[in-house]
Amino acid sequence: MKFTTLLLSGLAALTTAQTAAPYTDAKSGITFNAFIGSTGYFFGIALPANSTSSNTDFIATIGGKGTGWSGVSLGGGMLNKLLVVAWPNAQAIVSSFRKTANYGSPAVATGTFTQTPIANGTYVNATHWTYTFLCSKCILSDKTTFAPTDLTASFGYALNAAAPAQKTNPASSVAKHTSQGQVSLDLKKAQSASFESWRSWAVKSAVTVAVKREWEG
Ligand code: HEM
Ligand SMILES: *[C@@H]1O[C@H](CO)[C@@H](O)[C@H](O)[C@H]1NC(C)=O
Ligand SMILES: *[C@@H]1O[C@H](CO)[C@@H](O)[C@H](O)[C@H]1NC(C)=O
Ligand SMILES: *[C@@H]1O[C@H](CO)[C@@H](O)[C@H](O)[C@H]1NC(C)=O
């Protein structure tokens, strides 16, 4: 019995293994340092060259297979960290910042941080959905995220293949993840001299993305 349990949890760990590697999105041409899971989940980050202690911005890509939600913790763990949760709604993407002190569907987070989509990195194809965005004022100094000069940082991933209850509503509750964990990413490998050029591609109305922000109530 014990042996079976061990064997099964070992297998589960293997099948949800995440691999960190440089990843270039074919449609935008943006290169990220990313982790890509066997479930189709992926999260990637790009930072400015020589990210200094005053940098608060990065470009991220997040996605998955099918119509379920994918989430990332910018501080590693689930609790008291800044989270981003996104999912597809037909050809559009729905996304929000979240934060919670308890294990349960995280509430929408309030702050000055914003997400601005990059159009050609945001799409839904036959198998996957992909959301690429400039995250402005997202690197915080309150330990809810990584720091701009960190050489490596731990990110949390979480996903559920089931779509959220109200998929048109960025503030929708989500069901608990069916897979979650933490992965360390080399942030030096996320830095690019092209960052400022990629940043300029982020345009507020360039693509249909419903983003929940604090001032939208
Ligand atoms: C109803 C919704 C949710 C419930 C009940 C829930 C509950 C939990 C629990 C109990 C754990 C500890 C590991 C385990 O026992 O499974 C955990 C881990 C985790 N959760 Fe959630 N969660 C929810 C939604 C989310 C969302 C939307 C995210 C988005 C990023 C997230 C991110 C994580 C991460 C990254 C971990 C692993 C790191 C850690 O243990 O803190 N969770 N969650
Ligand atoms: C993505 O869009 C930007 C402009 O918004 C463009 O400069 C860039 O070349 C596009 N990427 C690809 C691979 O076509
Ligand atoms: C970044 O740092 C490297 C070496 O430390 C330097 O050669 C390069 O010019 C810097 N790049 C920028 C954009 O400041
Ligand atoms: C759909 O997009 C994903 C993520 O970019 C990519 O890996 C996959 O090859 C694409 N599939 C098709 C059929 O184009």
Q: Where are the beta strands (DSSP E) in the chain?
A: 18-24, 31-37, 42-48, 58-65, 69-73, 83-89, 92-99, 107-108, 114-117, 123-124, 128-136, 152-160, 179-186, 191-192, 209-212
Question: pTM for this structure?
Answer: 0.90
Q: What is the pLDDT of residue 1?
A: 37
Task: Judge if the beta carbon of residue 50 lies within 6 A of ligand 3.
Answer: yes
To test the pocket of ligand 4, the residue of 41, 91, 118, 128 to mutate (highest count of ligand atoms within 8 Å of its CB) is 128
CATH of the domain at 76: 2.60.40.1210
What's the rounded Cα separation, in Å, for the pair 87 and 33? Answer: 21
For ligand 1, the distance from its centroid to the CA atom of residue 6, given in whole angstroms, is 22
Q: Which two tokens stand for residue 63?
A: 């996605």
Nearest to 55 by CA among 155, 153, 146, 189: 146
C-alpha 53 to ligand 3 mean position (Å): 15
Residues of the chain with pLDDT under 70: 1-18, 206-210, 212-217
Whether ligand 2 lies within 6 angstroms of the CB of 200 is answered as no
pLDDT at 13 (0 to 100): 41
Q: What is the atom index within ligand 3 of the atom nearest the CA of 193?
A: 13
Range of the domain at 127: 3-47+54-216
* pLDDT score at 212: 63
Percent of the chain as helix, strand, coil, to the nearest 5: 15, 40, 45
* Residue nearest to ligand 2 atom 14, measured at CA: 28
Q: What is the pLDDT of residue 20?
A: 86
Pocket lining for ligand 4, CB < 6 angstroms = 125-128, 130
Residue 170 to residue 93: CA distance in whole angstroms = 9
Residue 204, pLDDT score: 83
Three-state DSSP class for 119? helix
Domain count, the chain: 1
Tell me how crowded residue 196 is: count the other CB atoms within 10 A of its CB. Answer: 10
Q: Is 11 left (phi over 0), alpha (psi -120 to 50) or beta?
A: alpha
> Which ligand has its closest atom nearest to the C-alpha of 27?
2
